[in-house]
Amino acid sequence: MPVSRPSLSVHLQETGAPDTLRHLILEVARACKYIHYALRTTEAGLAGTFNQYGDAQVKLDVISNDIIARHLHESRLVASFISEEEQSVIELRDDAPYSVVFDPLDGSSVVDTNFTVGTIVGIYAGKELIGRTPREQVGALYVLYGPRTLLVYSTGNGVHEFILDEMGEFILLHGFLGIGDNPKSYSVGNLVATKENAAYRTLVEGWMQSGLTLRYTGCMVTDIHHVLSKGNGIFVNIGGGKYPHGKLRLVFECGPFAYLVEQAGGMASTGKAPILDVKIESIDQRTNIIVGSMKEVERVCGLLN
């Protein structure tokens, strides 16, 4: 007899997520099914250009942003949100319990090559976001759009992975993902910084000699999912060149992943402090990030400082 696996809704109840948080996560998951559909039906290379009738083809990151914004609005559970695609905090309802931060389509620069891309979401209680720290998140999730569409979430009770089935339901694939101490792979971003940062160069050269395998796609969701899926590994993106303070954004990218990775027993650092303790001072704040297997993150932080 086939083993029946819980749906996302049932699992959220079993892990004790408050009802309002469960409804919000289900609404985000529903939005991501529309993004999944948009990715499969928008002609590659055409988004952002003009069609044969001269109509502008809306870019996939804009489409994805509109889909999530609409679902957050309709949920009536969101006081405010910040998206990587918006210039400011969007206020919805003063009396709603949560605020949401999201990158609707991470890896949009590789989407036309048919590489995997993802959506990243962090959830805070209350309305204010500026002045908070990512440690205050009450939940985080990402959706990875690949050969399979996967959703990985935590509400502070472990990290759980779901697969989108043919009926359009997210079904549990693996409960309690964990990250062990010894990495077998490394993932390095913004390598241009190795030109000016000798310690970063030494680190990468060390990995090249170490027997670890390189795994890097240029989409943070895919690259950190690799770590969570294999249960080990390290991902770094260090500032330099065009991005002196780091390329990746604290609010929409690093904060939610730091929450998920620490829930899985890994570690996420700026090199000097836990990502989870960095104060959000502006929407587009960027940071260095070193994330993954704990002992390796500690070793890398020591080497880079």
Nearest to 12 by CA among 199, 155, 112: 155
Taking the complex as a whole, how short is the minimal distance between the CB of residue 61 and ligand AFP, in angstroms? Answer: 7
Identify which of 292, 256, 295 has the alpha carbon closest to the alpha carbon of residue 276: 256
The catalytic residue among 8, 21, 106, 150 is 106
84 assigned to active site:
yes
User: Is 55 labeled as catalytic in the residue annotation?
Assistant: yes
* Among the residue ranges 71-79, 102-110, 125-133, 293-301, the one whose residues contact ligand AFP (CB under 6 A): 102-110
Closer residue to ligand AFP (CB): 97 or 107: 107
For the stretch 84-91, contacts whose Cβ atoms lie closer than 8 Å and that sit 24 or more positions apart, written own/partner, are 84/249, 84/252, 84/253, 85/61, 87/283, 88/283, 89/129, 89/130, 89/283, 91/127
- What would the x/- binding string for ligand AFP be over residues 48 to 87, using CB under 6 A? ----------------------------------------
In the range 161-200, which residues lie near ligand AFP by CB under 6 A?
189-190
Q: Is 207 helix (H, G, I), strand (E, B) or coil?
A: helix
Contact with ligand AFP (CB under 6 A) among 65, 108, 197, 288: 108
Vertex 33, ends 231 and 30: CA angle to 5°?
A: 95
Q: Which residues 6+ apart lie within 8 Å of 277 measured at CB?
A: 133, 134, 135
Among the residue ranges 73-81, 123-131, 215-223, 283-291, the one whose residues contact ligand AFP (CB under 6 A): 215-223
Go through the chain and tell me how many residues it has: 305
127 contributes a contact to ligand AFP by CB under 6 A: no
* 105 a catalytic residue: yes
List the one residue out of 190, 186, 177, 258 whose CA is nearest residue 218. 190
Tokens 């990985």 found at: 152
Between 247 and 266, how does the x/- string for binding to ligand AFP read (CB under 6 A)? xx------------------
Beta strands in 155-271 (DSSP E): 160-164, 170-174, 185-189, 213-214, 234-237, 248-249, 267-269
Catalytic, 106? Answer: yes
- In the set 106, 161, 262, 296, which binds ligand AFP (CB under 6 A)? 106
Closer to ligand AFP by Cβ: residue 7 or 116: 116
Q: Which residues are catalytic?
A: 55, 61, 84-85, 103, 105-106, 253
Q: Which residues make up the interface to ligand AFP (CB under 6 A)?
A: 106-109, 189-190, 218-220, 223, 237, 247-248
